A = this chain, B = another copy of it.
Amino acid sequence: MFDFTIDATSGPARAGRLALPHGAVETPAFLPVGTQGTVRALSPRDLQAVGAELVLANTYHLHVRPGEEVVAKLGGLHRFMAWDRPLLTDSGGFQVFSLDGFREVREDGVEFQSHVDGGRRTLTPERAVEIQWTLGADIAMAFDHVAPGGADVATARDALDRTLRWLERCARRHRELSDSRTAGRPDGKAFTVRPSDSPTVRQTLWPILQGGAHLDLRAEGLRRILELGSWTGLAIGGLSVGEPKQVMYDMLEALEPRLPGELPRYLMGVGFPADLVAAVERGVDLFDCVAPTRHGRNGSAFTPDGPVNIRNAEHREDPRPLDATCDCETCTTFSRGYLRHLFVAEELLGLRLLSLHNVRFLIRLAAEMRAAIRARDFPRWADAWRRRYTQTGSA
Contacts and interface: CB of A to CB of B under 8 A. Distances in A.
A341 B65 contact: yes
B347 A36 contact: yes
Interface in A24-57: 36-38, 40-45
Contacts of A41: 348-349, 352
Contacts of A152: none
A70 B334 contact: no
Given A73-B317, A74-B317, A40 B347 contact: yes
A182 interface: no
Contact of A70 (B42, B65, B82, B316): B316
B344 A38 contact: no
A246 interface: no
Contacts of A65: 341, 344-345
B345 A352 contact: no
Contacts of A340: 66
A335 interface: yes
Nearest to A332: B82
A319 interface: yes
Interface string A370-382: 0000000000000
A337 B61 CA distance: 16
Interface in A320-374: 329, 333-335, 337-338, 340-342, 344-345, 347-349, 351-353
A21 B74 CA distance: 47
A349 B82 CA distance: 13
A172 B319 CA distance: 33
B347 A70 contact: no
A82 B43 contact: no
A81 interface: yes
A307 interface: no
A43 B352 contact: yes
A42 B74 contact: no
A80 interface: yes
Nearest to A40: B348
A149 interface: no
Contacts of A73: 317, 319, 337
Q: Which of A61, A81, A353 counts the most B-chain CB atoms under 10 A from its CB?
A: A81
Contacts of A80: 335, 337-338, 341
B337 A74 contact: yes
A23 interface: no
Given A43-B349, A316-B66, A82 B334 contact: yes
A306 interface: no
Q: Which of A40, A42, A43 counts the most B-chain CB atoms under 10 A from its CB?
A: A43
Contact of A338 (B82, B338, B347): B82
Interface string A56-88: 000001000110001001110001111000000
Contact of A349 (B38, B75, B334): B38
Contact of A37 (B38, B329, B333, B341): B341
A351 B349 contact: no
Given A37-B338, A43-B353, A70-B337, 9 more contacts: A37-B341, A41-B352, A42-B349, A43-B333, A66-B316, A70-B341, A73-B317, A80-B341, A348-B352
6 contacts: A45-B329, A70-B317, A70-B341, A75-B335, A80-B335, A348-B352
